[in-house]
Amino acid sequence: MLNNWFKTTLLMAAIVALFGVVGMLLGGQQGMVIALLFGGAINLWAYWNSDKAVLRMYNAQELDNQSGHDFYNMVRELSQRAGLPMPRVYIVDEPQPNAFATGRNPEHAAVAATTGILRMLTARELRGVMAHELAHVKNRDTLISTISATVAGAISALAQFGMFFGGGDRERPNMIVQLIIMFLAPIAAMLIQMAISRAREFGADRGGAEISGDPEALASALRKIEAHARGTPMDAAEMHPETAQMMIINPLSGGDLQGLFRTHPATEERVQRLLEYARNGL
């Protein structure tokens, strides 16, 4: 828990610093002050509202015991096994099989699954997936992943500073704005990938196996999701690629960046670890 709080604080500080540097390039000291204030405000907003923003991005619809009886009761049973408060439960109308968790802490958590994953997986496999998402909640991964997704999307607003600090005879700031726009996206992506460790997926896989008591079910689900997700575009994820790291499997049709900046570990490696847990009687 302390490690995740440290990573969250580091991420938020880095975002504010990035805003400040860009503001200084565009408008000197005054621009830096305005940008720092803007960056701080974005961070505060993201802490309290990032989960709601992500759910809106995916047009997620909340379920209750009446509207989603079997699925809702499954999440409730797993939450009790994990010793967690009951999260809010959402469904996303997307054919791609996928799922994610969000929220700043276990008391304000939400889990979401697509209609595609509900149709494709068996009840046993779906139970493994939702146990994985609840493990993210229990490990408090959701705060940093949700904030980073929201802030990464907001970084594009930095380009608007050019409207305030450029213009007139000052051609150089306009050139700097163009360079910032060109390089800002990969810089933001690298920042997110440094903050969102691939190790958290392994941790959630293990935690999900412990919560469900069925590592093989999650392994089977991951293989199915991997096989179908690549060929089934998810429109909301394509529009908001910064949220890809929140999903149980990368939802983007273009695939993950290889190597250092991959958002998820290789699925087969995750499967092999889960099968090893099963053999060892986890």
**pLDDT in the model for residue 167:** 47
Which residues are CB-contacts of 236 (< 8 A; sequence separation ≥ 6)?
57, 58, 59, 92, 94, 243
The number of C-alpha atoms within 13 Å of 258 and in the hemisphere containing its C-beta is 0
Instruction: Summarize pLDDT for 165-204 with one digit per residue, the tens.
Output: 554 444 445 566 656 655 665 566 566 655 666 678 899 9
Report the 10 Å Cβ neighbour count for 20.
Answer: 20
pLDDT value at position 153?
62
Q: Domain residues for 94? A: 60-148+198-279
Q: What pLDDT sits at residue 121?
A: 97
127 occurs within a structural domain: yes
| Catalytic, out of 62, 77, 94, 133 | 133
Given a contact cutoff of 8 angstroms between Cβ atoms, the answer to whether 161 and 31 are in contact is yes
Calculate the average pLDDT of the chain.
81
Is 18 domain-assigned? no
Q: What is the pLDDT of residue 256?
A: 47
User: What is the pairing mode between strands 99-102 and 61-63?
Assistant: unpaired
Please calculate the CA angle 161-24-48 and round it to the nearest 5 degrees.
65
94 in catalytic set: no
What is the spatial distance between Cα 208 and Cα 133, in angstroms, rounded to a whole number? 7
Residues with pLDDT less than 70, the chain: 1-5, 7-8, 11-12, 15, 25-27, 149-198, 254-263
The whole-angstrom separation of Cα 153 and Cα 157 is: 8
Q: Is residue 31 part of a domain?
A: no
- At residue 163, what are phi and psi to the nearest 5 degrees? -70, -30
Q: What angle separates helix 2-57 from helix 171-195, to the nearest 10 degrees?
A: 110
Helix (H) or strand (E) holding 114: strand 110-114
Q: How far apart are CA 132 and CA 265, in angstroms?
A: 15
Q: Give the model confidence (pLDDT) of 47-68 as tens digits.
A: 788 889 899 999 999 999 998 8
Give the pair of three-digit tokens for residue 135. Answer: 């493990």
163 lies in a domain? no
Measured CA distances, 221 to 76, 78, 123 (Å): 20, 17, 10
Q: Burial letters for 52-82: b for 16+ Cβ neighbours within 10 Å, e otherwise?
A: ebbbebbebeebeeeebeebbebbeebbeeb
CATH of the domain at 219: 3.30.2010.10
In a domain, 40, yes or no: no
154 lies in a domain? no
167 domain-assigned? no
How many domains does the structure of the chain reveal? 1
In a domain, 20, yes or no: no
Q: Extract the tokens encoding 228.
A: 């179908």
